[in-house]
Amino acid sequence: MKFAANLTLLYGHLPLVERFAAAAHDGFTAVEILFPYDETPQWYADRLNEAGLRLALINTPITADYPWGMAGQKGAQALFHSAWEQALAVCSATGCQAIHVMAGSAAPPGEARERQRSQLMHNLAWAAAQDRSVVLTLEALNRIDVPGYFYDEPQHVVSILRELDEPNVGLQFDFFHVARQGLDALATLAPCLPFIRHVQVAGSPGRNEPDLRKDGLLEGLLCLANFGYAGFLGFEYRPRADVSDGLGWTRPLLSMRS
């Protein structure tokens, strides 16, 4: 698997323009950026090229009214279309091939939830058809840190993916959210393996450097490697202190790195 530094969290203590070189200095060749919309798409492309980096993943834009996304939100279809075009513009300029589609909050169970699910499915199918070379990822966000998000467990995402059946829509599996949700990593991971398109990791509960001895992290990553997962492993955490020193946790994973 390939390592990717999340510039927004891992290097968030630095000015944006300095984060690219810092990641390259620490040995990364790929990065994630949560919301690369403060500058033009070409600005991000230039900074990536200067640092010799590849952009592995971005999120769809958010707004004050939709802080967790709008793909599954009633009355926000036109806004989602605009947000998707904005994300695709970044991909076009940078060569990024994966976008995390943020669904937003869930309606209460019942008819409203079913209508919301239908809206999400419609938006995902539309977005997937706009550029088949770009992978859409859906990520379950735990109910402790993100209460009320549309889906809080990977199995909920998998049910959507099965029904949607779009070749360029897959699961973004985050070990941090699995641990925070109180789920067993291996038991949760196993049925998800065929659907995974991107993976992220952070230590629970503080979202700092991971401890591979906890929460089934090492076992889960070995399971991914044995399955043949060759995608990105995003380091989406906030360092406790010095970023470079904190990367020592990755040593047991070097044999998996590609």
Give the active site residue among 139, 153, 166, 219.
139
Q: Which helix (H) or strand (E) holds 19?
A: helix 16-25
CB atoms within 10 A of CB 26: 16
Question: Which residue intervals of the chain are DSSP H helices?
Answer: 7-10, 16-25, 41-51, 77-94, 111-130, 154-164, 175-180, 185-189, 217-227, 243-246
Q: Is 85 considered catalytic here?
A: no
Among residues 32, 111, 153, 236, the one annotated as catalytic is: 236
Q: What is the distance between the alpha carbons of residues 99 and 170, in angstroms, rounded to a whole number?
A: 10
What is the chain's length?
Answer: 258
- Please confirm, yes or no, whether 163 is among the known catalytic residues: no
CA 87, CA 82: separation in Å to the nearest integer? 9
Residues 69 and 103: beta-carbon distance below 8 Å: yes
Q: Show the CA angle centred on residue 135, arms to residues 190 and 138, nearest 5°.
A: 55
What is the number of other CB atoms lying within 10 angstroms of the CB of residue 211? 12
Tokens of 20: 């690219």
Alpha helices in 95-228 (DSSP H): 111-130, 154-164, 175-180, 185-189, 217-227
- Which tokens belong to 161? 């993916």
H/E element, 57: strand 54-59
Closest CA to 71 of 96, 38, 63: 63
Task: Tell me the catalytic residues.
Answer: 139, 236
